[in-house]
Chains A and B, each alone.
Chain A
Amino acid sequence: MQTKDEALNLNMVIIGASHAGVSAAFNLRQQGWKGRIILLDRDPQLPYHRPPLSKKTLQSDALVSSPLKAEKAYIDNEISLNLGQNVTSVDSKTQQITLANSEVIPFDKLIIATGCDAFIPPIKGLSDTVDETGVNRFFAMRTYADALAIKSALTNSKDKQVVIIGGGYIGLECASSFIALGAKVTVIEKQSHILSRVTSHVMSDFLTQLHRDKGVTLTTGKDVVEVIHQADKHIVVCGDGTQYPADFIIVGVGVRRNTQLAIAAGVDVEQGVKVNAVCQTSHPNIFSIGDCTEYFSQRYQRWLKLESVQNAVEQAKTVAQFITGNLPTVVPDTNTVNQTIQNDSRPNTQEAVPWFWSDQYQCKLQIVGLSDGYDELIVCQESAEQFSVWYFKADRLLCVEAVNLAKAYVLGTQAIKHNMQVNKSLLSALDTELTKTSLLIEPVTSLN
C-alpha cells in the first residue's frame, strides 16, 4: 500500500500537450491522482483546438487560437505546463526523460501523447520552396503557427493562387476556407477519388462535386512529380506533364506518427505506438494515447490507428481511470501486457465508437464508426443537401456518414454503440422519417 506522502511524491510526466495530453492531465486530477503532473510540449502556444485551424481559424480575421483550457485551469489543477520544451529522449530503465536543454526529469509513470506531424513527400523541388526573400512557399497545416504562416502567405500573395497537394480532409477544409477568402484553389489528388482511403465513392463524388461547384479546380489520379520555381510563381508539375502555377503550396498528404520517443524507450512500435485497451505500452509504466498510437479493436477485430479528437480524448479518459484505479472494468495484468495487447478482456460494448466530423462550406459531415470492409451501402436522401450513407457488413452496421443530418448520425451512433440491428427496408424507402423506434431493432447478440 502506498502512503499518502508517497503518492504526493509520484511524478506523472506527459509528453505532448494537445487534445490527448491535456485531457489526460485534467482527467488524472479529476480521478484523484495526488502526485505531480508535468505536462510538456515543444509548441510554445497555450494548448489549443486543432480542428478549427483549417476551418474557422483560417477564415477569421482575428486568427486567434481556441485554447483547450484556460491558463488558469492548469494552475488551479496543479498541472505544471511546460511549453516550448522539446523532449529528446526517454530512458525506460532509469525512468527519466531528457529535454533539448539537457534537463532531466524522472518519471514514475509516463504518457506519450506526441501525436503526428504532417508527412512531407519526397517531391523534387518541394523542400526548397522558398522565394527570393526567404519566405517559405509551401506549408503543412498542423499547428497554430502553420495557420498563421498560411494566412499571411495568402494575404501577401499576388494572385491568391493556391495549390493543395492531397485531397484528404485537411486539404479539402483548407480549400473551402481559401474559397471563402477569395482565393483561386487547385486540389491535386493522387488517387482516382478524393478521400479514397476513408470513404466510399458516394461521399467522395458528393464532395468532389461540391468543391467544383464552389470553384475549386479538383483533379484526381495525378501524381505531383516536381515543383519548379519561377520569378514569382511556383509551378507544380504532374506526372502527365500538366502544370499548375501557385503563389504558395499546401501539402496535405497525410501524417507521420511521432513514435521516435517510444522507439527510444524500447516499447513495441509498428506504425504507431502499440497499446492495449487501457493504453499501456509493452512497458508497464509507459502509456501512450492519441494520434501516435495503434490499438487492437475488439469491435472491428483489427489494429486501428485513429486520428481524431474523439480517440485522443477517449484514450485520455481511459488511461487516467486505469492509472488511478478507477476503471470500472476488468484490467489486464501488467505482467502479461504483451498478451493483453491482443487479448483484451474488456467487454466489447465498452469500447468507444469512433466518430469524426468535417466542416466544408455549409456542409457538416459527421461520421460514426468505420466503413472499411463494408459489403453493402444504403444512401438515405432527405434533400439535395441532406443525406446519410449507411455501411453494412451483412446485417451489421459498421458506419454512418451524415451530411447536414445530425439525426442520422445520432441514430447510427446508438445502433453501433448498442449493437442494434437496422431495419434496412425502412432505410431504403427514401421518404421514411428516420426514428429510433421504427429503425433500430433488438441488439445483435453475437458480434462476429
Chain B
Amino acid sequence: MAKVIFVTQNNGSMEVEGDSGSLMELAVANGVAGIDGDCGGVCSCATCHIYVEPADFEKIGQPEEIESDMLQLDDNVREFSRLCCQIEVSEVIDGMTFVVAN
C-alpha cells in the first residue's frame, strides 16, 4: 500500500493511494491532469513525465536506459525526471510527492 501526492501544473495537488500496478496507472485511474499515458505504459510515448524530489530519486531506483533516452523527447526534462509508467506502486514510494511535468 502506498499513498502519494501528485502536484499538477496548475498547482493542484491530489493525494491518491494504491497497492499495485504502475504509478502511471494510478495517476490515470485518479484522473491526474497531465499524465496521459498514451502508450499504455510501455515506455514509448513519454506522456507520463514527472519530477521526483531529489532526496527520493535514489530510493526509487535508477531508470533503465530506454527510459532515460525517451525522457529526452520532452523539452521539460530535468535532472530528477522520470516516466512514471516505469515506477511500480509499492511501499518504496509511500509518502512521496511527484510534480507532473506537463
Contacts and interface: CB of A to CB of B under 8 A. Distances in A.
Interface of A: 19, 23, 30, 49, 51-52, 55-56, 66-70, 72-73, 76-77, 309-310, 313, 357, 359, 364, 366, 404, 406-407, 409-410, 413
B44 A70 contact: no
A19 B40 CA distance: 11
Given A66-B25, A70-B31, A406 B42 contact: no
Contact of B66 (A30, A70, A364, A413): A364
A66 B72 contact: no
Contacts of B40: 49, 51-52, 56, 66
A76 B31 contact: yes
Interface residues of B, number: 21
Contact of B39 (A30, A69, A77, A309): A309
B29 A357 contact: no
A83 to B, nearest CB: 18
A313 B36 contact: yes
Q: How would you classify the secondary structure of chain A's contact residues: helix, strand, loop or mixed?
A: helix
Contact of B28 (A52, A69, A359, A409): A69
Interface of B: 25, 28-31, 33, 36, 38-45, 65-66, 69-70, 72-73
B44 A366 contact: yes
Contact of A406 (B29, B33, B65): B65
Q: How would you classify the secondary structure of chain B's contact residues: helix, strand, loop or mixed?
A: loop
Contacts of A366: 44
The 9 closest A-B pairs by CB, nearest first: A406-B69, A73-B31, A49-B40, A357-B44, A406-B66, A407-B69, A70-B29, A410-B72, A52-B40
A72 B31 contact: yes
B69 A67 contact: no
Contact of A359 (B31, B42, B65): B42
Given A67-B28, A364-B66, A413 B73 contact: yes
A45 to B, nearest CB: 15
Contacts of B72: 410
A350 to B, nearest CB: 15
Contacts of A70: 28-31
Contacts of A19: 38
14 contacts: A49-B40, A56-B40, A69-B28, A70-B28, A70-B31, A313-B36, A357-B39, A364-B43, A366-B44, A404-B66, A406-B65, A406-B66, A406-B69, A409-B69
A359 B44 CA distance: 10
A410 B70 contact: yes
Given A70-B28, A313-B38, A406-B65, 20 more contacts: A30-B33, A49-B40, A52-B42, A66-B25, A66-B40, A67-B28, A68-B28, A69-B31, A70-B31, A313-B36, A357-B39, A357-B42, A366-B44, A404-B66, A406-B69, A406-B70, A409-B69, A410-B69, A410-B70, A410-B73
